[in-house]
Structure 1
Amino acid sequence: MRAQFVLSEIWIGLRRNLTMTVAVITTVAISLALFGAGMLINQQVSAMRGYWDERISITIYLCTESSPSKHCIENGPATDEDRNSLQADLKAMPEVASVEYVDQAAAWEDFQNRFSNRQALVEATQEGDIPDNFRVQLADPSKYERVQQSVQDRPGVDMVSNDKDVLDRFFELFDGLKWAALIVAVVQLAAAALLIGNTIRLSAYSRRRETGIMRLVGASNFYIQLPFLLEGAICGLIGGVIASGFIVATRFFLLDKIQDWFYSGVELSTGALLSVIGMSVILGVLLCTIASFLTLRRYLRV
């Protein structure tokens, strides 16, 4: 009988404040979806950063006849002696794992393959515009600056490019996306807490007569509060379930696309996805339950 009474009270409360209940569920779902998306992006970016940090390489571009830099104009194009000396010094460095020389023909072919989807750029570039270069794989990626500084101003060297500068700009973009999603989620969660508190307050006010009767017959404080707490928990649970769909969509329609655009060999496991979904649902239930409890302490004196 008690269980049936509690369930009937929950149904009455949800039905009487249907508009507010829908607003609460919607706000909770949006905020949890943003929270879960931020968590997924954080995990994906962390995994990708770890993968690429271990694979940072340096490309040393050599001077050619058409190099526009002041250093190349003053010293002329790289000679065979410059190339041999640079290669020997690189191989002797303990920070370097391997050195590969790429001549202009191979560099031009690699450029065409990399930018095959940008035909206008390929057509505007001629063979010889891409300088020959050395591709240096590091034994310790954290020591890239030492290698870069040691070859920066050598004769025959036009410029030195390292993957870390490109990766840092790329990951800054996703870090910004992650923090933007989390900040908006926090704001939405605060709004959800206020909405659920207001909904529970209205529900308690509309049922003040039933509450008074329950007090007279000796019902315990917990028994009187239970229907209201469960109302909040149900709103949080429904919002969390709806948010789960958006989180799954984020995984398959955003993060998987990132994998296609920026291959890292690392993708989130199903376990990581389920853990984010579980955390989001639990957060939704706890948020609404706690907001309901705090509201009841203020507006429902028992």
Structure 2
Amino acid sequence: MRHIFRETWSGLRRNVSMTLAVIVTMWVSLALFGFGLLATQQVDLMKGRWYDKIEISVFLCTSVAQGTNCTTGEGTTDAQRAAIQEALESNPEVASVTYESKAEAYADFREAFKNSPILDSVTEETMQDSYRVKLKDPQQYQGVVSAVRSMKGVQTVQDLRAYLDPLFTWLNLLRWGTIGIAGLLLVAAALQITNTIRLAAHSRRREIGIMRLVGASNWYILLPFVLESLAAAVIGIVFACLTIAAVVKFVIIDKAQVSIQSLPWVDWTHAGVAMLWMAVVGVALSVIPTLLTARRYVKV
């Protein structure tokens, strides 16, 4: 083992510029790959909270929130509220209907904005009660909207997809764009590793020939090359994980969560999952090309 570690250290010193290039490329590509994974988890969190749970919101009239179906200065009556609920529950396109009172809406508001300065400016009376409508087929919503939009006591009908779809479209583009760029850089890193191993094998062809003559096994000859690429990959993985940790800490936890408290944000658990996949990809990307390349070039 002493000889293997000595050869590994010697190879790293002789190819220091190529090793640094591999480290930097692995660092940047794995960091972008990690950002793509975090973006994927962020989109899933937001969909889990909004997109998949709430399809249509039917807001009722209050003395403050008025519309064309509202009686001026008055809120929705009990009879109107019952008629709206009956129309929703009897609609064949509706899977479930959930009523949210003013008190429940106010409690949700206080939870979402518990650290916001606007909390004290809102009271329970200024909130609207509403119906949250889950559809059997989220794409078939027009019938439900048209059925209740003109009913007395309905202030407005809001299809959240109209607001959320553009956001998720851009987030998905960001996610796949980041992963795509990371993939190209990972390919570049694999090619750099291949070239580094090829040059290292060429520079050691004399030593490899001697080891062959004395009966050294394939693994004994290959292991220093594997350790060289693995050492560069591990350093790149560490730097990439530190980059992800810095973004999660200083951008998401310290800034985003404080500024936009109504959104669910990725945390250290999600960052840990991203780092784990970064480590797996980084190790595989260093070992596999090395074995494929070294087995070819160490044959003397």
- Select between 136-145 and 282-291 the one with higher mean Cα deviation: 136-145
- Select between 22-31 and 139-148 the one with higher mean Cα deviation: 139-148
Deviation at 1:163, TM superposition (A): 2.5
- One-letter code aligned to 2:184: V
TM-score (ref. length: structure 1): 0.74
Q: Which residue of the partner structure matches residue 281 of structure 2?
A: 283
- One-letter code aligned to 1:10: T
Q: Which residue of the partner structure matches residue 30 of structure 2?
A: 32
User: 1:154 and 1:139 mapped to 2: Cα distance?
Assistant: 16
Q: Which residue of the partner structure matches residue 90 of structure 1?
A: 84
> Is the 1:229–1:292 Cα contact (8 Å) retained in structure 2?
yes
Task: Give SS of 1:140's match.
Answer: strand
User: 2:85 and 2:151 mapped to 1: Cα distance?
Assistant: 16
**Structure 1, residues 83-137: CA drift from partner, whole Å, max 9, x if none?**
5575332232324322668xxxxxxxxxxx9xx99xxxxxxxxxxxxxx996523
**Structure 1, residues 38-89: CA drift from partner, whole Å, max 9, x if none?**
1122112212211223255525588xxxx9xxxx9xxx77446995575332
Q: Which residue of the partner structure matches residue 140 of structure 1?
A: 134
Instruction: State whether structure 2 residue 271 is matched by structure 1 residue 273.
Output: yes
User: 1:226 and 1:96 mapped to 2: Cα distance?
Assistant: 64
> Is the 2:56–2:157 Cα contact (8 Å) retained in structure 1?
no
Instruction: State whether structure 2 residue 171 is matched by structure 1 residue 174.
Output: yes
Assess, with a 3 A threshold, how the Cα gap between structure 1 residues 275 and 97 changes in structure 2: closer, same or farther.
closer
Q: Percent identity?
A: 38
User: 1:167 and 1:253 mapped to 2: Cα distance?
Assistant: 26
Q: Which residue of the partner structure matches residue 248 of structure 1?
A: 245
Assess, with a 3 A threshold, how the Cα gap between structure 1 residues 201 and 265 changes in structure 2: closer, same or farther.
closer
User: 1:278 and 1:267 mapped to 2: Cα distance?
Assistant: 15
TM-score (ref. length: structure 2): 0.75
User: 2:146 and 2:292 mapped to 1: Cα distance?
Assistant: 60
Moved over 4 A (4+): 59-62, 80-86, 132-135, 141-144, 153-159
**Structure 1, residues 6-40: CA drift from partner, whole Å, max 9, x if none?**
11111111111111110001001111111111112
5+ unaligned residues in a row in structure 1: which ranges? 102-112, 118-131
RMSD across aligned C-alpha pairs, in angstroms?
3.6
Task: Give SS of 1:28's match.
Answer: helix
